[in-house]
Amino acid sequence: MDQTRNYRSVWRRFALSCLTLGLVVLTAMFSAGRCEAQALYGSITGNVVDANGGAIPGASVTITNVGTNQSREATTEDSGSYTFTNVEAGRYTVKVTQAGFKTLTRTDVDITINNTNRVDAALEAGQVAETVTVSSDTAALLQTETAEVKGELTSTQLENLPVPLGRNYQNLFNTLPGFSETSEPHSNGSNPSRALEFNVNGASKSINNTRIDGASATNIWLPHITAYVPALESIQAVNVVTNSFDAEQG
């Protein structure tokens, strides 16, 4: 009877952790797998207007991944808006065409996971065969499409930043605001993954949640650590949401 009560108590504590873990931090890593979720992909949205700022409905918007040459196409709404969701991370070219207007091509649009990149287009009157090419600025530091408070470890950072012996990517969390290691980061003997423990914004380490390709990697018996730590070389990017995340992640 006592053993049954103990099991029930453990599962109640685990259920409570599952209920609250999304309130503090979400780390999403994209490697080889595919999962249709914004936490693993990015988005492109924008408005297409004419020289006077009027909406252009029915315009064709094509995005092309520079690395894979894969393309997707959408048509603007009556308001002139368009949106691409579940966009794989990478560098893209965005092309906008509409009869009676010059073709607008925007290059060097960098998409990162769990970020929405706004690419607006103002078309000039002319022939479709005429093309105006614009090189995009780097991704905006301030994301205005969502209220999420988040940070990211890019592939460049993962490749170039020094990592201590063991090559655990979690060591790089110290470069993100709000993260601090606990006083005994390796205190658990039952931690074969050698996962690190950390607090975020002063909150309990037990409500962190790590997702790998969309699936939770939290150790159900020790929710303050991850059950699996992937090799640093296998990670494309790490996205961390520390506050104001949406229901999809919570």
pLDDT for res 13: 41
The whole-angstrom separation of Cα 137 and Cα 108 is 8
Query: What one-character-per-residue DSSP string does 117-157 give?
Result: EE--EEPPBS-TTSEEEEEPPSPPSS--S---EEEEE-HHH
In tens, the pLDDT along 163-186 reads 887 788 888 888 888 887 776 655
pLDDT for res 202: 75
Going from the N-terminus, what domains does the chain have, and what CATH number goes with each? 41-135 (2.60.40.1120), 149-243 (no CATH)
Cα first-last separation, the chain: 35
In tens, the pLDDT along 101-117 reads 999 999 989 888 778 88
Mean pLDDT per 10-residue segment, the chain (250 residues): 48 37 35 42 92 95 94 96 91 95 93 85 91 70 57 80 82 82 61 78 75 77 79 80 60
State the pTM of this model: 0.56
